[in-house]
Structure 1
Amino acid sequence: MRIFLVRHGQTAANASGLFYGSTDVPLTPLGIEQSTRVAGLLAEVAFSQVLSSQLTRAQQTAELIVPITGFDPRLNEMDFGRWEMRHFSDIAEEEPEAWQRWIDDWQNATPTDGEPFTHFAERVKAVAEELALRKEPGDMLIVAHQGVLSLLLAHWLRMPTESLWHFPFKQDAYTMVENRDGFMVLRVFNDRSPFRAEE
């Protein structure tokens, strides 16, 4: 099985550099353009299954690639609570102690009224482990978020959680992982060339 990973297209929150995860915002015109471009790159792939997070930006992106999709809420981005839709500089000024705890130990600190990172990582890990056990042939598309995709990849490659920072997913590209009986092989990362079926 081949699993194609696509990050949703740009949103206004991305463009403004805001913290956001659970806030449900749509794609910008540029985000629609990016997602449409990825759809063209993957035009030759006959996806047997498509999963996205349940957030609008991911579903919009997925539907531009494949019209019929399913969703899994475990693929939703982390909920940053009261930090949602705020710039990091404002959080640091208004909640300096909470922000410093996050800077010092982001894996164990929790954004104010938000989701603990450990909970977020565990739900993404559960999806990663389920997909690694899949043995049927075919191609799967997953459309989600930076944090989710980087955690999936780190888990599949048997790397520590903090390795997620090594995988900056672009919003106009695709990544492909091959599942070889549970042994996950990273074949392409942030590719912007048309995928050929014979590959």
Structure 2
Amino acid sequence: MTDLYLVRHGETEWSKSGQHTSVTDLELTPHGVEQATSLRSRLDASEFGLILSSPRRRALHTAELAGFSDPEITEDLAEWNYGDYEGLTSQQIRQQHHGWRIWFNGCPGGESADDVRARLTRIVARVRASGVDKAICFGHGHASRVLALCWLDFPIIFGQSFPLQVASVSIMGREKESWAVIRWNS
């Protein structure tokens, strides 16, 4: 069975401020560089048979600093496209749309929850079919949460219960006959 490691990119100015960042291609902050570099002591690239990354600079730079110099880039790991909400904080969005939550309301001008789930389900299928012991995906907050939900075959609204810290490592796998969260936000 393959274990799937999920790594969220290090801190950016917008992750620090809580701004929704999908297509805006931001660099890591100096602290984000430190966070990503510290992953090197916890992850050994030689242990992974499948290494995938979002095409966004923040994910690729995190992978590189963590010791994964040549990940396969896939658009399927890109962050949820926030459309009209790109660059806004949840508080700013809720001033216009009271009670808004991405898991229930989506993003006008961006991707639907079904679209995000479809592309991350492709990642799950690829990882499960790979036959490797360990796979790793360098990605983003919301998309990585959806990836975990696809692994578990949970409804997308459960994403609200799986907050994901910057530069964290989470591991998906199996517990006996069930798909499972092995570790979260480590």
Q: TM-score range by the shorter chain?
A: 0.7 to 0.9
Q: Structure 1 108/68 Cα, relative in aligned 2: closer, same or farther at 3 Å? A: same
Aligned partners of 2:174 and 2:181 also within 8 Å: no
**1:132: how far off?**
2.7
For residues 50-74 of structure 1, give each alpha carbon's deviation from its aligned partner in whole angstroms, at most 9, with x where no partner exists.
1011111001111112111111101
What is the distance in 2 between the residues matched to 1:173 and 1:165?
17
Q: Which amino acid aligns with 2:60?
A: Q
Aligned ranges for residues 1-199 of structure 1 at < 5 Å? Answer: 1-43=2-44, 46-65=47-66, 66-93=68-95, 96=96, 99-100=97-98, 103=100, 106-107=102-103, 109-134=105-130, 136-178=131-173, 184-191=179-186
TM value normalised by structure 2: 0.85
- Opposite residue 27 of structure 1, the aligned amino acid is L
Residue identity in the other structure for 2:112:
P
Q: CA deviation at 1:11?
A: 0.5
Contact 1:5 1:143 in 2 (8 A): yes
Secondary structure in 1 aligned to 2:79? coil
Q: TM-score, normalised by structure 1?
A: 0.80
- The Cα of 1:21 is off from its aligned counterpart by 1.5
| C-alpha spacing 1:108/1:79, structure 2 compared with 1 (3 Å) | same
One-letter code aligned to 1:149: S
Question: More deviation in 51-60 or 122-131?
Answer: 122-131
SS in 1 for 2:184: strand
Structure 2 residue runs of 5 or longer lacking an equivalent are none
Distance 1:111 1:157, change over 3 A: closer
Q: Percent identity?
A: 24
For these two proteins, the number of residue pairs brought into alignment is 184
The 2-side partners of 1:145 and 1:152 are apart by 10
Structure 2 distance, partners of 1:44, 1:77, is 23
Point out where structure 1 has 5 or more consecutive residues left out of the alignment.
Answer: 192-199
